[in-house]
Amino acid sequence: TWTMANVVEEQVERIRAQVGEGRALCALSGGVDSAVAAALVQRAIGDRLTCVYVDHGLMREGETEQIERDFVAVTGVDLRVVDAREQFLGALAGVSDPEEKRKIIGREFIRVFEQAALDVVGDAKEHGDTVDFLVQGTLYPDVVESGGGTGTANIKSHHNVGGLPEDLQFTLVEPLRTLFKDEVREVGLQLGLPEAMVWRQPFPGPGLGIRIVGEVTQERLDTLRRADAIVRAELTAAGLDREIWQCPVVLLADVRSVGVQGDGRTYGHPVVLRPVSSEDAMTADWTRLPYDLLARISTRITNEVPEVNRVTLDVTSKPPGTIEWE
Ligand code: XMP
């Protein structure tokens, strides 16, 4: 709409005024907010923006490619992808406790991003330049919630960790500070971002790492990724993406049950479907998905993912259940 076109123009002007001839850095997470913020800043300052994407190996099928390929194709953004998959798997080896997993994933993310940021800063320095700005996809509701503060930050304080090299002190650029989520999506569409990215449902930072009940391994991630891809494809085909808030698929990796698949007895794992309806994720109700859709999902998963021999449905509201299982 014309209003959103105005928003884009206005924000681009503001960013230019703030950043001037300076350079900026942005961490892409795969989420809507960081993608739209980065696309806006790219439009304003071009290749004086460098984006960093940490591939922790915990994303869903096609998501990393969406950023590496589609997002870059549309925006022309200067992107550095850090392949940290081995590092994350190594750090998560032997860990089953949910809070422990979150801590490890958060810690490794900061380590990897900090190093990448130092590299970007170092490269600029070689050309007699500095990187003074950090782009963040802060939305209006986040601003209200945190009391309206803005200004400077470093990468660690953003992630609630103390202490950092001088080199990584930044002034924040927050082009989405006045917008609500639906407006951010509009801006994203206006900027030509892929629909799948603009309409992406919430997905937790620790990714599939907290959707495997038990230890996170490469094999389990592959299993969950395949089951999850089927669920997402079927929900999309049924036209339900925008109806439901999100639908985590959880692999009960430490549980096995007997089944019969093909010619023989199997001893596989269950997956749990967790479709929820919600306004803000604070409370949620389990979504009454049509039975035939559930049947299709179940048949496809047990046919196409040999490690999974049972598909179950979570019919718990929040509270008492959280949306995620970990
Ligand atoms: P719960 O499980 O607490 O989830 O009902 C509420 C919403 O938050 C998302 N979620 C997270 N998002 N980092 C995130 O960025 C996290 O560690 C995290 N844990 C949960 C969850 O997907 C749901 O939308």
Judge whether 72 and 92 are in contact, CB under 8 Å.
Answer: no
Pocket of ligand 1 (CB under 6 A): 102, 202, 204-206, 246, 281, 318, 322-324
Q: How many CB atoms lie within 10 A of CB 192?
A: 11
Q: Which of 147, 141, 239 is nearest to 184 (CA)?
A: 141
- Please give the class, per CATH, of domain 2-198: alpha beta
Express each pLDDT in 122-163 by its tens digit.
999 999 999 999 999 999 998 888 877 767 766 655 554 445
Dist CA 216 CA 59 (whole Å): 13
Quick one: pLDDT at residue 147? 78
Atom of ligand 1 nearest to the CA of 202: 24
Is 32 labelled as part of a ligand binding site? yes
Q: Between vectors from CA 239 to CA 284 and to CA 247, what angle results, nearest 5°?
A: 35
Is 96 labelled as part of a ligand binding site? no
Express each pLDDT in 264-322 by its tens digit.
999 999 999 999 999 999 999 999 999 999 999 999 999 999 999 999 999 999 999 99
**Given pLDDT bands bounded at 50, 70 and 90, which one contains residue 9?**
very high
CA of 293 to the centre of ligand 1 (A): 25
Across 214-235, b (16+ Cβ under 10 Å) vs e yields eebeeebbebbbbbbbbbbebb
What is the CATH code of the structural domain delimited by 211-313? 3.30.300.10
CA of 31 to the centre of ligand 1 (A): 13
Domain range summary for the chain, segments of one domain joined by +: 2-198, 211-313
Quick one: pLDDT at residue 160? 44
| Position with higher pLDDT, 136 vs 3 | 136
